[in-house]
Amino acid sequence: MLHLYTFCVDIGKHSIIELINVLKILINSLDKTNIYKLHIFTNFNININHPNIVLHEYFDNSISIYKDTWLNLSFNKIYIYKYLFDKYKIDFTWVDLDTVFTSDVSYINDISSFFIDCGGINEDPHLLIFNTNINIPRNKWIQGNIWKLNSQLYNKFIEIYKKISLNNMKLNFDLQSLFTYYFYFILDGNEKTLLDNDIYIIGRNIKKNVMNGLCIWDPNGNTHANINGLNNLYYENGLLKSNFYPDKEIHIVSFTFDTLKQLYNTKKFQELFINN
């Protein structure tokens, strides 16, 4: 069974109706592909009666490091991981609300961590820490929409974050920058080093036939979800693929909330992810 958690929190960025619509898409995709339990942290009433859903009242367990409410919400994911680990003694997997599962990913249970990166061929520099020249090629950027930690990694990330803060540095983009900085600057980022440290990046050092990153939307791998990328997705023998990378399987589809809102009522989206 997959043990997942997500936030469905109203911070005035999206309407409650939109939040619920996107949550239903996530749940629908999980129902079709996985045996799971999804823990949802929310600050409003969600009327749902589902055997695989556990509702929690959202709480902010983080230090506010940004002036941006959304970024602070996002950084809180790591502290909620620790809360769930302490409560259930399970390493939960974070999943963004705006993520769609298209395949059984129970193999996550077999590895001690799970990450995905943008993938593709785009190597434009992506800033990790403000007011520094610490950059990473975009295709190696670790995404934040789904990841699994273990207690050792949690402790390491908190240690690194404290050191960064003591040096008056600020991560450019919450946990994604933190993960990427550790993998490629504190460690050297090569496959053996990552594996030796129990770090598994799908498509890079494990399951190299799988591509779950944002690169599925564009041949250069440097954009978010869009209608052109959607029209280039198709199923082959029950597996989702992209015309841009036809030799790769897609098990998890990465959107952003804004792009998902633009796409989920389209005929192509409905064909691929709702009526399929």
pLDDT in tens, 209-238: 999 999 999 988 778 999 999 999 999 999
Q: How far is CA 157 from CA 116, 154, 232, in A?
A: 17, 5, 37
Residue-averaged pLDDT of the chain: 93
Q: How many angstroms separate the CA atoms of 3 and 1, rounded?
A: 6
Burial of 201 (0-12, 13-18, 19+ CB in 10 A): buried
pLDDT at 219: 85
pLDDT in tens, 240-274: 999 999 999 999 999 999 999 999 999 999 999 99
Q: How many angstroms separate the CA atoms of 58 and 78, rounded?
A: 14
Instruction: Average the pLDDT over 49-78 and give the result.
Output: 84
Residue 51 has pLDDT above 80, yes or no: yes
Question: Whole-model pTM?
Answer: 0.95
Q: Is 262 helix (H, G, I), strand (E, B) or coil?
A: helix
* Phi-psi map region of 196: left, alpha, beta (phi>0 left; psi -120 to 50 alpha): alpha
